[in-house]
């Protein structure tokens, strides 16, 4: 159980982040729902958490801005007195082939998917060190391990998350802070819903378990990693992909 713990989930207004926020709240954590622009969606997540008897606060910040991240974490610590769990989930995609990729399409994905995770880890590391306790969960991707056509920016950012996770785990472990990453496979979210139906069916046929994943498949693992049952687990990259890349 995560009672009395404070969890910050970035990009928590939709998709995997939404599912993780709801799951952490069900286990008793007070969830800080970070979002960039969709206030309505963030408030909906807050409402759902409160309806199930949980605690949640919406906090707007662009996590690709180091200044906004520092301000957000400072506000959380001032208001809550602590921060126990960080889930680096915020992410975007700008898919296209290498020769067609514009500089801004590369930069936007790196800034949101990789730089933001670093900014958040740096910001929470100080209060977590003082507590001598903390759980950091980064959302990578199997694409960061295996690569993918048309996603060189996304794959590079998610591969960077893996190196970030392992390095942070080594650096912070002596202070009781565990850092792990989840590498989702093909999960049904806004991103994958844009794929043509025949493409989704083709992918599902290649997955040994015969289906695309649900956001809750990722959320369940995030809850485990956040709980004390995972206190001897750090620096790990765990693929949740239905066996696609076993």
- Rounded distance between C-alpha atoms, residue 87 and residue 101, angstroms: 29
Active site residue 154: yes
**Residue 86: closest CA among 125, 41, 28, 36:** 125
**Within its chain, how far is the Cα of 111 from the centroid?**
14
Residue spans of alpha helices (H) in 86-151:
103-110, 116-131, 143-146
How far apart, in Å, are the Cα atoms of 45 and each of 31, 35, 190, 193, 235? 10, 11, 16, 20, 30
Instruction: Out of 119, 154, 186, 232, pick the active-site residue.
Output: 154
Say how far apart CA 77 and CA 60 lie, in whole Å: 15
Residues involved in catalysis: 154
């Amino acid at each position: 159980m995560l009672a009395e713990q404070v969890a910050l989930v970035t990009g928590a207004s939709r998709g995997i982040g939404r599912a993780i926020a709801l799951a952490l709240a069900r286990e008793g954590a007070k969830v800080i729902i970070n979002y960039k622009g969709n206030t309505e969606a963030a408030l909906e997540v807050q409402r759902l958490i409160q309806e199930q008897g949980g605690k949640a606060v919406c906090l707007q910040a662009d996590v690709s801005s180091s200044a906004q991240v520092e301000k957000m974490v400072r506000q959380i610590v001032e208001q809550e007195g602590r921060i126990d769990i960080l889930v680096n989930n915020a992410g975007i995609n700008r898919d296209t082939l290498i020769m067609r990729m514009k500089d801004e399409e590369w930069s936007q994905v790196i800034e949101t998917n990789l730089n933001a995770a670093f900014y958040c880890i740096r910001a929470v590391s100080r209060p977590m060190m003082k507590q001598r306790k903390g759980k950091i969960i980064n959302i990578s991707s199997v694409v960061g391990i295996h690569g993918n056509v048309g996603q060189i920016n996304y794959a590079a950012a998610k591969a960077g998350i893996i190196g970030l996770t392992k390095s942070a785990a080594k650096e912070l472990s002596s202070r009781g802070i565990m850092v792990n990453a989840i590498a989702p496979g093909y999960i049904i979210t806004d991103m994958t819903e844009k794929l043509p139906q025949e493409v989704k069916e083709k992918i599902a046929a290649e997955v040994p378990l015969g289906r695309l994943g649900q956001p809750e498949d990722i959320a369940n693992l995030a809850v485990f990693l956040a709980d004390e049952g995972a206190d001897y687990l750090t620096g790990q990259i765990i693929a949740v992909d239905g066996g696609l890349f076993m």
